[in-house]
């Protein structure tokens, strides 16, 4: 894994890239232990990767029926109802960052992926400089908990085959809002979907859809 991270660093000299096993990850999340994720990885491996871009499915009944998902919901979300789905694709551009006010569980298959993360405290007046972002390499089969309010978005692929990434969240997250908050002040300006606060880069597709522009600097692309 060290050699692969060294390869990614060589290809992306302006982006700090480390492993989720590095101590630096402790400020953003933690690697989960004690869960048998073999069936979960196999089930996730059966989901499709789109030929271009990314796709997001908030709730997949096959994933949600797995005992390990039920166990994660009970232990990690305090028995709150959860939804288990996936984000699959071939994306490699930052475009946006989001955060939730609950944890998010991720697990990848294949060659893994890179998660571009920042802390809530890294924002200034709800604006994030891309220099604050850190790329964390998430190897296949490793479940991680991303802490509440940690900024993240769709993973970046590390191979031409793309990525498959499990997404477990509190039930109802990413559902449409009851009303628009575009004219809100403060944090409300970022509210894009239920339990989803979003800030985007001015060159992103999300900007064209009217999302709050709050990312300053180059729209990062992960080179492989």
Q: What is the pLDDT of residue 123?
A: 98
Band of pLDDT at residue 116, cut at 50, 70 and 90: very high
Q: What is the pLDDT of residue 85?
A: 98
Q: What is the pLDDT of residues 150-182, one digit of tens each?
A: 999 999 999 999 999 999 999 999 999 999 998
- pLDDT at residue 80 is higher than 80: yes
CA distance 205 to 209: 7
Q: What is the pLDDT of residue 182?
A: 86
What percent of the chain is predicted at pLDDT more than 90?
Answer: 97
Q: What is the DSSP string of 38-85?
A: HHHHHHHTTS---SSSEEEES--HHHHTSHHHHHHHHHHTTT--EEEE
For the record, the structure tokens of 193 come out as 């979907």
- Whose structure tokens read 């996936």? 86
Span 52-65, mean pLDDT?
97
Span 52-71, mean pLDDT?
97
- pLDDT at residue 2 is higher than 80: no
Q: What is the pLDDT of residue 12?
A: 98
SS3 122: helix
Q: 14-174, which class in CATH?
A: mainly beta
Q: CB of 19 within 8 A of CB of 8?
A: no
Provide the mean pLDDT of the chain: 97
- pLDDT at residue 13 is higher than 80: yes
- Give the angle subtended at the CA of 8 by the CAs of 37 and 43, to the nearest 5°: 20
pTM of structure: 0.97
């Amino acid at each position: 894994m060290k050699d692969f991270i060294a390869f990614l660093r060589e290809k992306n000299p302006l982006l700090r890239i480390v492993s989720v096993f590095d101590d630096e990850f402790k400020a953003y999340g933690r690697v989960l232990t004690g869960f048998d994720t073999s069936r979960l990885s196999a089930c996730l491996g059966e989901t499709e990767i789109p030929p271009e871009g990314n796709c997001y499915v908030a709730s997949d009944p096959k994933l949600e029926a797995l005992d390990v998902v039920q166990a994660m919901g009970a232990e990690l979300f305090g028995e709150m109802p959860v939804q288990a789905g996936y984000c699959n694709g071939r994306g490699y551009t930052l475009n946006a960052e989001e955060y939730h006010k609950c944890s998010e569980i991720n697990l990848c298959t294949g060659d893994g992926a890179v998660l571009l993360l920042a802390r809530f405290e890294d924002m200034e007046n709800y604006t994030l400089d891309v220099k604050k972002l850190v790329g964390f390499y998430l190897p296949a089969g490793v479940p991680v908990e991303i802490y509440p309010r940690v900024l993240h978005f769709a993973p970046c692929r590390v191979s031409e085959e793309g990525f498959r990434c499990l997404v477990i969240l509190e039930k109802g997250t990413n559902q449409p809002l009851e009303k628009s908050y575009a004219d809100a002040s403060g944090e409300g300006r970022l509210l894009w979907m239920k339990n989803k606060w979003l800030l985007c880069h001015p060159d992103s597709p999300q900007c064209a859809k009217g999302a709050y522009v709050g990312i300053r600097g180059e729209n990062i692309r992960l080179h492989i």
